[in-house]
C-alpha cells in the first residue's frame, strides 16, 4: 500500500511518517518536490505514483498573513485539494484532507459537530472551508485545532522561548479551544484512512483550555521536568488587548464523539499529551 504525504516538513506531515502502519510505503513530498500551487504538477504526481491514499497535510497556515495574501491562501488551501481530488478520481485512490476549527465562527454554545454550519471569519478559514468543498464527498476530511509537536513551529515552543527570555507574559484568556498533539492526530488520520471512513470528522485532544490556560500548563509541566528553571508571571488578557489582522473564533471546541466511536478509542487529555511532547522536546536538546 502506498501513501503520498504532502507537507512532510510540517508537524502533521512528520507525524504521519512516524506513525505509518506496517505494510505502508510513504512517499514524502515537501515544497521542493511538489509545488502545491501548481495544479498540473499535482496531477502529474498522482498519475505517476498512483497512491492508495494522499494525505494532504500541507497548507497555508499563516493566519494573519493570509489577510494580505488571499490568492496564495486559496491556491494552496483550496485549489490544491481540488486538483488532488480530481486526479484521485481517475487513479482510484482516496484523499485525506486536513482542515481546521477556523471554518467556524466561534459563536456556538456547544462543541462543534462535523455537520454544523460553517461560517469562517478570516481569509485562512475561508480558504480551508473552500478546500473541504474542493476535496468533495469521496474524501476523508479531518478538522483539528491548536496543533503542536516537538521541534515544530507552534504555540508551545514559542511560549518556552518567551518564558526563558521574559519575567512576565501576557496571554489571551478569552479564546477557548483544545490543544492537539500532532502524533495523536496522525494516528487518527491513519485510522480513518485504513477504515475508509469518508466524510467529515473531528479530532482534538480531550479537555478544553484558553490560550492562557495552555500557557500556564506549559510553564508548570516544563518546570517540573527541568526544561524551564522557573515559572514566569503569566497575565491573562482579552483578545481586544492583542489585536491581530485576522479574526479568530472565541470558542472553537470540536465535538469528536463520532470520530472516537468510529475508531473505537478514546481521546487522551491534552495535558497528558503535552507532557509527552515536552519530554520529546527535552530529548531534542
Instruction: Give the other-Cβ count within 10 Å of 229's Cβ.
Output: 9
Q: In whole angstroms, what is the distance from residue 99 CA to residue 125 CA? A: 9
- What is the tally of helices (H) and strands (E) in the chain? 10, 12
Strand, helix or coil at 143?
A: strand
148 is a catalytic site residue: no
Strands (E), the chain: 2-6, 25-29, 53-56, 94-100, 140-144, 147-148, 168-172, 176-177, 180-181, 199-202, 209-210, 233-237
Beta-carbon contacts of residue 56 (< 8 Å; ≥ 6 apart): 6, 7, 80, 81, 84, 95, 96, 97, 98, 135
The catalytic residue among 60, 124, 148, 212 is 124
Distances (CA, A) of 51 to 4, 26, 94, 177: 6, 9, 8, 34
Catalytic site residues?
124
Amino acid at each position: 500500500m502506498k501513501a503520498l504525504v504532502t507537507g512532510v516538513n510540517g508537524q502533521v506531515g512528520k507525524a504521519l511518517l512516524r506513525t505509518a502502519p506496517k505494510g505502508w510505503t510513504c512517499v514524502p513530498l515537501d515544497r521542493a518536490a511538489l509545488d502545491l500551487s501548481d495544479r498540473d504538477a499535482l496531477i502529474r504526481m498522482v498519475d505517476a505514483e498512483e497512491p492508495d491514499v494522499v494525505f494532504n497535510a500541507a497548507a497555508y497556515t499563516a493566519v494573519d498573513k493570509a489577510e494580505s495574501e488571499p490568492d496564495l491562501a486559496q491556491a494552496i488551501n483550496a485549489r490544491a485539494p481540488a486538483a488532488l481530488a480530481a486526479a484521485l478520481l481517475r487513479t482510484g485512490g482516496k484523499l485525506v484532507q486536513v482542515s481546521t476549527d477556523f471554518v467556524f465562527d466561534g459563536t456556538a454554545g456547544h462543541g462543534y459537530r462535523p455537520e454544523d454550519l460553517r461560517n469562517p471569519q478570516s481569509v485562512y478559514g475561508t480558504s480551508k472551508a473552500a478546500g473541504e468543498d474542493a476535496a468533495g464527498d469521496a474524501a476523508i476530511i479531518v478538522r483539528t485545532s491548536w496543533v503542536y509537536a516537538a521541534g515544530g513551529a507552534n504555540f508551545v515552543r514559542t511560549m518556552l522561548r518567551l518564558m526563558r527570555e521574559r519575567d512576565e507574559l501576557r496571554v489571551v484568556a478569552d479564546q477557548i479551544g483544545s490543544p492537539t498533539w500532532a502524533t495523536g492526530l496522525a494516528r487518527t488520520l491513519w485510522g480513518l484512512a485504513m477504515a475508509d471512513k469518508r466524510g467529515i470528522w473531528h479530532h482534538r485532544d480531550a479537555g478544553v483550555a484558553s490560550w492562557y490556560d495552555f500557557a500556564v500548563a506549559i510553564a508548570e509541566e516544563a518546570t517540573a521536568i527541568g526544561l524551564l528553571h522557573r515559572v514566569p508571571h503569566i497575565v491573562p488578557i482579552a483578545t481586544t488587548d492583542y489585536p491581530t489582522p485576522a479574526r479568530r473564533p472565541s470558542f472553537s471546541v470540536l465535538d469528536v464523539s463520532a470520530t472516537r466511536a468510529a475508531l473505537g478509542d478514546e481521546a487522551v487529555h491534552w495535558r497528558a499529551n503535552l507532557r509527552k511532547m515536552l519530554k520529546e522536546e527535552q530529548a531534542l536538546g
